[in-house]
Amino acid sequence: HIYSHLLLHHGETARAIGFQVKNCEAFYTAAMQNGACSIEVPTEYSDGSGTYIRAAIATYGDTIHPIIERTEYTGCFAPGFVPFEGIFDPIPVSQDVGLLRIDHIVGNVELGKMEHWVRFYEKVLGFHEMTHFTDEDISTEYSALMSKVLANGNNKIKFPINEPAQGRRKSQIEEYLDFHRGPGVQHIALLTGDIIQTVTKLRENGVQFLSVPKAYYESLPTRIGEIDEKFEEIANLGILADRDDDGYLLQLFTKPVQDRPTLFFEIIQRHGSQGFGIGNFKALFEAIEREQARRGNL
């Protein structure tokens, strides 16, 4: 089975990043005309809840983009799926960690391949380059990477794409590519409206986050200025903060979800800022490198 193969080859990974569209056939046809590689032609699936149409195209590595039309479907997810009724009680509202939606999804690709995938998203899916970061923006003493952020017309869907840059040691992107055995999703950023509450509950639930040196917080009030949250709470929870012309953001990154140093999650709260925390890049990547050094891969 394809998913057994993917699990053995990549470990825990994000296989499918789906788009819900109004017209699957039209979207798929336009994508194919613009150079997409087909994984699944538009196919109808039906059950008592209506008709669901799905197609899929390929992107970097073994990742795919399912194209979903569900305007005539009222079921919980898709034909063949039913609401889960297991041995566990539903999670009480009081235990909801407060995650709202996906904010962005970051992909890692091989050296020299970033521009190829930038052109793919621009030509095939009509995305535009929202911003970019050079190896001077994202570097430490040992390694560096480059990144470009692709977004759809209203900037609701955002896909940063990373590639390694030359450095003194193996970069975190190279480590990912080695252990993932090729390109794939590096991390999924989840938006929250209250990062203090969300991170507190996630930590209580056993989620492990990257550690941030205490020195990071010594100059934070001066660098960030006035914010709604208490700096003491941010420091105690290990949350990073950054400000740009539009406002500020708060973010924190989990450790990888498995023993391979590949997929992880980001928790992010935005107060006006639509950036990605450029002021935190050095602190973040040094934190990742500390974990990398513990694994003996730096």
- Each residue of 251-266: pLDDT tens digit? 999 999 999 999 999 9
CATH of domain 95-295: 3.10.180.10
Measure CA of the first residue to CA of the last residue in the chain; give whole Å: 35
Distance CA 86, CA 237 (A): 33
pTM over 0.85: yes
Domains 2-69 and 95-295 in one fold:
yes
Number of C-beta neighbours around residue 52 at 10 A: 24
- Contact (Cβ atoms closer than 8 angstroms) between residue 63 and residue 88: no
Q: Could you state, in order of their start, the residue ranges of all structural domains in the chain?
A: 2-69, 95-295
Q: Cα separation of 28 and 54, whole Å?
A: 10
Predicted confidence (pLDDT) at residue 138 exceeds the cutoff of 80: no
Q: What is the pLDDT of residue 123?
A: 98
- How confident is the model over 87-116, as pLDDT tens digits? 666 666 567 899 999 999 999 999 999 999
State the fold for domain 2-69. 2,3-Dihydroxybiphenyl 1,2-Dioxygenase; domain 1 (3.10.180)
User: In whole numbers, what is the pLDDT of the chain averaged over residues?
Assistant: 91
Of 180 and 141, the structure prediction assigns the larger pLDDT to 180
